[in-house]
Amino acid sequence: MNAVGMDKRAGFSILIELLGTFLGTSFIEGRTLYIFIALSVITFLLIIIIGRMDPGTLSRRNSNYYNSVLFKDYTYRVIQDNKAIAGRSFEKKGVQLHSEVFCKTCGIFRPSGTSHCRECNQCIAVMDHHCVWLSNCIGEVNYPYFMNLLSIECLRGLILVVYRCMQPFPEFTFTQKSICFYITLLWSFMLTAFISALFGYFMWLNLKGYTSRAYCKPKKVQCKD
């Protein structure tokens, strides 16, 4: 996917957020309205921050730093496949404890959890997924911000649904008042259900100790000598 396509999707996500905010402010009142607006502002800021933040890009330099910290007492041997570097195996006293795949594009050995993103064309530390709606990868650095964004979105959606359901339901007719009420109610339910399911999915992965990429992608067979 090219950068223009990703920017369009990121812009579309902001447009959806604006629409949800506009619908919410059309019927929420009192102190709840101020809370909803504050949450909306935080949401927009997080979208911009996550989209612009380095998710944990690994260069040759900081890849070596990772390895020097994690495996300073280990020795390693290079694994080859048809005389080409395929990875390396860390050993201690002759026992293999860890192995890494070599990224030919970036020219680095990828630490555990690191994946190469085709859209960004970079290796990302603890990569979870590439979010086209935020136009950025979700990795080691911006993952907490991403989870905060989902949690705030769930709270905003809950406010929309609860506040709308607390109001008297008008008779379903083709009047402007009736149509607006049921459109906003349906929108609130759909938005909240989708975001809540997404948030629940990532929370479940956290409890299991997986990234979404590691959970969804079949495990590759390790290279042998």
d(CA 92, CA 74): 5
Would you state the pLDDT for residue 76?
58
Higher pLDDT: 193 or 81? It is 193
Q: Which residue has the tokens 């694994």?
A: 79
Higher pLDDT: 20 or 90? It is 20
Would you state the pLDDT for residue 220?
46
Asked if 180 is an active-site residue, the reply is no
Q: What is the pTM for the complete model shown?
A: 0.76
> What angle do the packed helices 176-208 and 3-25 form, to 10 degrees?
120
CB atoms within 10 A of CB 150: 18
* pLDDT at residue 208 is higher than 80: yes
From 102, 85, 12, select the one nearest 51 (Cα to Cα): 12
Q: How much is the mean pLDDT over the chain?
A: 77
Q: What does R_g of the chain's alpha carbons equal in angstroms?
A: 23
User: Alpha carbon 211 to chain centroid distance?
Assistant: 10
d(CA 67, CA 201): 31
Higher pLDDT: 179 or 218? It is 179
DSSP 59: -
Q: Which of 120, 131, 137, 154 is catalytic?
A: 131
Q: What is the mean pLDDT of residues 109-131?
A: 85
The highest-confidence range among 39-43, 65-69, 220-224, by mean pLDDT, is 39-43
d(CA 38, CA 102): 45
Q: Which of 61-75, 78-92, 101-115 has the lowest mean pLDDT?
A: 61-75
